[in-house]
Structure 1
Amino acid sequence: MTLKTVFLLAFVFLSVNLFAQTRLVKEKQEINKIIEAHQKELITISDAIWAKAETAFEEYESSKILSDYAEKNGFTVEKGVAGMPTAFVASYGSGKPVIGILGEFDALPGISQKALPTKEALEAGGGGHGCGHNLFGTASLGAAIAIKELMEQGKIKGTIKFFGTPSEEKYFGKIWMVNAGLWDDVDVNMSWHPHASTEADVQSSLALIDFKVEFFGQAAHAAADPWNGRSASDALELYTAGINYYREHVRPSVRMHYHIQDAGAVVNVVPDYSKVWVRIRDSKRSGMLPVYERVKEMAEGAAIMANVEYKISLISGIYEILVNRAGGEILQENLELLGPISYTEEEIAFGKKIQAETGKPQLGLDSNITPLKETRKNPGGGSTDVGDVSWNVANINLRVTTAPKDTPWHSWAVVACGGMSIGHKGMIYAAKAMAMTMFDLYKSPKKVQEVKDEYMTRKGTEVYKAMIPEGPPPIPAK
Structure 2
Amino acid sequence: MKSPLLLLALLPVLAIAQKKAPAPKMTPAKTTIVQSVTTHSADLISISDKIWAAEELAFQESQSAKLLSDYAEANGFKVERGVAEMPTAFVATYGSGSPVIGILGEFDALPGLSQKTQPTKSPLHEGMPGHGCGHNLFGTASLGAAIAVKELIEQGKLKGTIKFFGTPAEEKYFGKLWMARAGLFDGLDVCMDWHPGAETKASVQSSLALVDFIVEFKGQAAHASADPWNGRSASDALELYTHGINMLREHVKPSVRMHYHIQDGGQVVNVVPDYSRLWVRIRDTTRVGMNEVYQRVMKMAEGAAVLANVDYKISLVSGIYEVLVNRSGGEVIQKNLELLGPINYTDEETAFAKKIQESTGKPQIGLHSKVEPLEETLPGGSGGSTDVGDVSWIVPVVRMTTATAPIGTPWHSWAVVACGGMSIGHKGLIHTSKTLAMSIADIMQDPKKVEEIKAEFKRRKGDHVYKGLVPDGPPPIGH
TM-score range, shorter chain: over 0.9
Cα distance in 2 between the residues matched to 1:441 and 1:333: 12
Aligned residue for 1:301, secondary structure, equals helix
Q: Which secondary structure does the structure 2 equivalent of 1:316 belong to?
A: strand
1:8-407 map, 5 Å: 25-407=27-409
Partners of 1:380 and 1:439 in 2: CA distance:
29
Give, in angstroms, the shift of residue 55 of structure 1.
0.3
Residues 351-409 of structure 1 show CA distances to partners (whole Å, capped at 9, x for unaligned) of 00000000101010012112111111122310000000000000000000000000000
Q: Distance in 2 between matches of 1:27 and 1:395?
A: 23
Separation in 2 of the partners of 1:247 and 1:367? 39
- Equivalent residues of 1:217, 1:309 under 8 A apart: yes
| TM-score, reference length from structure 2 | 0.95
Letter in 1 for 2:335: E
> Structure 1 residue 21: deviation in Å?
7.4
Q: Helix, strand or coil for the counterpart of 1:369? A: coil
Please give the alpha-carbon distance, in whole angstroms, between the structure 2 residues aligned to 1:214 and 1:21. Answer: 57
Task: Verify the 8 A CA contact 2:322 2:381 in the aligned structure 1.
Answer: no
Looking at structure 2, the residues matched to 466 and 21 of structure 1 have their Cα atoms a distance apart, in angstroms, of 39
CA distance in 2, matches of 1:423, 1:303: 49
1:413 corresponds in structure 2 to 415
**Residue from 462, 465, 469 that aligns with 1:463:** 465
Residue 428 of structure 2 is aligned to residue 426 of structure 1: yes
Name the CA distance, whole Å, in 1 between partners of 2:146 and 2:29: 15
Residues in 1 aligned to 2:153 and 2:339: alpha-carbon distance in whole angstroms: 22
- Asked whether the 8 Å contact 2:24–2:335 carries over to 1, the reply is no
Equivalent residue letter for 1:413: A
CA distance 1:365–1:21, shift in 2 (3 Å): closer
1:468 and 1:27 mapped to 2: Cα distance? 41
TM-score, L = length of structure 1 = 0.95
Name the aligned partner's letter for residue 95 of structure 2: G
Which residue type is aligned with residue 315 of structure 2?
S
In structure 2, the partner of 1:441 is 443
The letter of the residue matching 1:323 is: V
Aligned residues between the structures:
459
Alpha-carbon RMSD: 1.3
* C-alpha contact (below 8 Å) 1:197/1:370 kept by paired residues: no
CA distance in 2, matches of 1:81, 1:316: 18
For 2:29 and 2:467, how far apart are their aligned partners in 1? 40
| Poorly superposed stretches of 4+, deviation over 6 Å | none
Structure 2 CA distance, aligned partners of 1:280 and 1:124?
Answer: 31
CA distance in 1 between counterparts of 2:113 and 2:158 reads 43
- Note the alpha carbon deviations across 1:105-162, whole angstroms, 9 max, x for none: 0000111001111111111111000000000000000000000011111100100000
How far residue 185 of structure 1 moved from its aligned partner, in angstroms, is 1.1
Aligned-pair identity (%): 69
Task: Tell me how far apart the structure 1 counterparts of residues 227 and 461 of structure 2 sit (CA, whole Å).
Answer: 59
What SS class does the counterpart of residue 373 from structure 1 fall into? Answer: coil
Question: In structure 2, what is the Cα distance between the partners aligned to 1:181 and 1:379?
Answer: 27
Contact persistence 1:253–1:380 (CA under 8 A): no
Contact map agreement 2:208 2:322 (CA 8 A) in 1? yes
Is residue 2:474 matched to residue 1:472? yes
One-letter code aligned to 2:243: A
How far 1:29 sits from its partner (Å)?
Answer: 1.6
Q: What is the distance in 1 between the residues matched to 2:160 and 2:30?
A: 17
Q: Deviations over 1:432-466 (max 9, x none)?
A: 00000000011101101100110011111001111
